């Protein structure tokens, strides 16, 4: 069995409450859709992980941040004192609309899934492990934002370096939003090649991920930002893989690939303005599978984002099937009025690619 999928029913508690864009029912919705469309059988195995412990969290976050986050999200009621302190550690988008109950506990579970994924892949039990609920890439060492409490993407890379002495890890972030938290962890780290494909930060939160942000000190040249123009669709993403992602990955020769990102680059997502179709997500999964041939097939994949419930299960399944090499038909979800997208998005993507190559050419032979 090549693929393990990490899932527990408790993931539904990663929920910021009514009216918030990030609801926990997404996980059960996808899990049922997955079982209906692609039974477990010999395709994959569902695995349950244990939550992370305090030492695991201290690998990526400051103790005072962990302590406050545990206390705030575990409180029976949210007092004025808590609210005043909240903004020392979290941004407004992490404020729940009601008493959050088990949200922080599930955030620990997601870090536990990341740890389990690392161990399963590195110990040879599975070539590929998919963490449902993973990819909380906005969380920083002492600050939570963007619906993210603890950064499991960063945890994976740091844990793999510490426990398995890996020194060439590729993180590929395909979420529509730039992975600002993950970027901060590895901005000076040459052991991690961080490639981030996201919507132009002039037009979308968090307003980082510009081409000139390439890393510093020993990590200079190891952060690759690819800001996609509004409306960029399947062909534009395919061009980015052909022109940037594949060449630089081949030169880097990763020992393992970590990919994170859900359905929010889809053209019908409620919070973003990109143009991927369901087939575009399958293509991303297939490209990651192809790249993984350089590292004996080893991939940790993390899927959580997406803000259109009708789209989410189809796009997540397409990512999963692409990564597993399963060629099954996945239709687009029922028709929804298409947003206005730029007809020049492909040409603008070509311009972005040219600027990325020019910016990074002195660091990478493939761009010379």
- Tell me how long the chain is: 368
**Do 330 and 314 meet the contact criterion of CB atoms below 8 Å apart?**
yes
Residue 112: name the closest of 191, 8, 256 by CA: 8
Report the SS3 class of residue 230. Answer: coil
- As beta bridge partners, residue 233 has 275
Cβ neighbours around 164 below 10 Å, total = 16
**Do 106 and 148 meet the contact criterion of CB atoms below 8 Å apart?**
no
Within 8 A by CB and 6+ apart from 329, the residues are: none
**Do 329 and 281 meet the contact criterion of CB atoms below 8 Å apart?**
no
**Do 100 and 144 meet the contact criterion of CB atoms below 8 Å apart?**
no
**Do 322 and 261 meet the contact criterion of CB atoms below 8 Å apart?**
no
Is 138 marked active-site? Answer: yes
Residue with tokens 């060439």: 168
61, 138, 198, 266: the catalytic one is 138
**Do 186 and 171 meet the contact criterion of CB atoms below 8 Å apart?**
yes
Catalytic positions, please? 138
């Amino acid at each position: 069995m090549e693929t393990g999928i990490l899932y527990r029913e408790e993931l539904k508690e990663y929920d910021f409450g009514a009216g918030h864009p990030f609801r926990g029912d997404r996980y059960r919705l996808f899990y049922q859709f997955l079982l209906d469309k692609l039974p477990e059988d010999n395709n994959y195995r569902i695995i349950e992980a244990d939550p992370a412990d305090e030492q695991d969290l201290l690998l990526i976050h400051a103790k005072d941040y962990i302590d406050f986050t545990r206390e705030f999200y575990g409180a029976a009621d949210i007092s004025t004192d808590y609210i005043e302190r909240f903004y020392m550690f979290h941004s407004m988008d992490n404020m729940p609309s009601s008493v959050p109950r088990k949200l922080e506990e599930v955030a620990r579970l997601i870090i536990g899934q990341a740890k389990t994924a690392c161990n399963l892949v590195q110990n040879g039990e599975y070539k590929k492990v998919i963490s449902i609920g993973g990819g909380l890439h906005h969380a920083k060492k002492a600050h939570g934002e963007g619906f993210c409490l603890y950064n499991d993407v960063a945890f994976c890379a740091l844990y793999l370096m510490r426990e398995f002495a890996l020194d060439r890890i590729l993180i590929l972030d395909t979420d529509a939003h730039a992975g600002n938290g993950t970027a901060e962890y590895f901005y000076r780290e040459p052991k991690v090649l961080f490639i981030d494909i996201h919507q132009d930060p002039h037009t979308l939160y968090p307003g980082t991920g510009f081409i000139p942000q390439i890393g510093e000190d020993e990590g200079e040249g190891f952060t690759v930002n690819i800001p996609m123009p509004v409306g960029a669709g399947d062909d534009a993403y395919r061009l980015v893989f052909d022109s940037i992602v594949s060449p630089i990955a081949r030169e880097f020769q990763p020992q393992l690939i970590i990919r994170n990102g859900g359905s929010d680059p889809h053209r019908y997502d409620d919070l973003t303005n990109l143009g991927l179709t369901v087939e575009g997500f399958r293509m991303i999964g297939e490209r990651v599978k192809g790249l993984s041939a350089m590292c004996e097939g080893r991939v940790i994949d993390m899927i959580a984002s997406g803000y259109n419930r009708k789209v989410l299960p189809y796009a997540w399944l397409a990512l999963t099937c692409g990564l597993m090499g399963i060629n099954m038909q996945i239709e687009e979800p029922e028709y929804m009025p298409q947003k206005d997208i730029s007809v020049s998005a492909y040409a603008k993507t070509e311009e972005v690619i040219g600027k990325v190559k020019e910016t990074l050419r002195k660091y990478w032979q493939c761009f010379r």
